Amino acid sequence: MPTQNALRSKPAGRTAKQTADFLLIETMRWEPQDGFLRLDQHLRRLSRSADALGFRQPDGAEAQLKAAVSGSGPLRVRLAMTYRGKIDITTTPFEPEPEGRIWRLRIAGQRLASDDSLFRHKTTRRAPYDAARAEFSKAEADEVLLLNERGELCEGTITNLFVEAEDGQLLTPPLSSGLLPGVLRADLIRERKARSQVLMPDDLKHRKVFVGNSLRGLIAAELVE
């Protein structure tokens, strides 16, 4: 039976040893011609999470990021920051999704707790997401969606979820459902291309569905049942 339990984390009061593997992370895209996509938004989210979780504020993150990138092709850039504010940056070549590709979505048995505020921050504590992803092979699903304890759609393991409304605007689950406020999601809401609304699995039927994040952009998707 798939587990219905969500990881409940308590970041406050950890010892130095306990926080050694607890990192804040930001994953972004760099283009040779355009530089970093949404860099300011990523750095603002990093700063907000550091403040909320008791991390030191990132010092010189932008300069370190710009020093870490070069080349003639797009890069996936991952920033990881320790509790003490030390930053580590890794880069790998990034291959954008082929035009016209549609991701296959499945819904996990693993649930997220809507009141667990830790998962509103991008960190290395990913047990529920990893458990959800492990329920299906890569051949069965390109992305796996999680529900909360009320059966509401939350997000994918690496993406936010979007459903096209009748007026053409995108609907995306609200923070109250329990999810990471993605940088791409925030941009679409700010640009009035998306709005938040509670979504249930039936809302994915007979509508255009997308998943996306700041690295990959919006990707057309469909639920596989």
Half-sphere exposure of 58 (CA within 13 A, CB side): 26
Query: Can you tell me whether residue 67 is helix, strand or coil?
Result: helix
Calpha distance 14→38 (Å, rounded)? 32
Helix (H) or strand (E) holding 19: helix 16-19
Calpha distance 73→70 (Å, rounded)? 8
Question: Residues in the chain with pLDDT < 50?
Answer: 1-18
Token pair listed for 11: 């970041």
Phi and psi at residue 50, in whole multiples of 5°?
-60, -45
Domains of the chain: 16-93 (3.30.470.10), 103-223 (3.20.10.10)
Token pair listed for 107: 């819904």
pTM, two decimals, is 0.90
Calpha distance 172→188 (Å, rounded)? 10
Calpha distance 90→145 (Å, rounded)? 27
Phi and psi at residue 64, in whole multiples of 5°?
-65, -40
- Beta strands (DSSP E) in 134-208 are 143-148, 153-156, 160-164, 170-172, 194-196
Report the pLDDT value the prediction gives residue 4, as an integer from 0 to 100. 42
Burial tier of 16 (Cβ tally within 10 Å: 0-12, 13-18, 19+): exposed
State pLDDT tens for residues 201-215: 999 999 999 999 999
**Max CA pair span of the chain:** 51
* Alpha carbon 126 to chain centroid, angstroms: 11
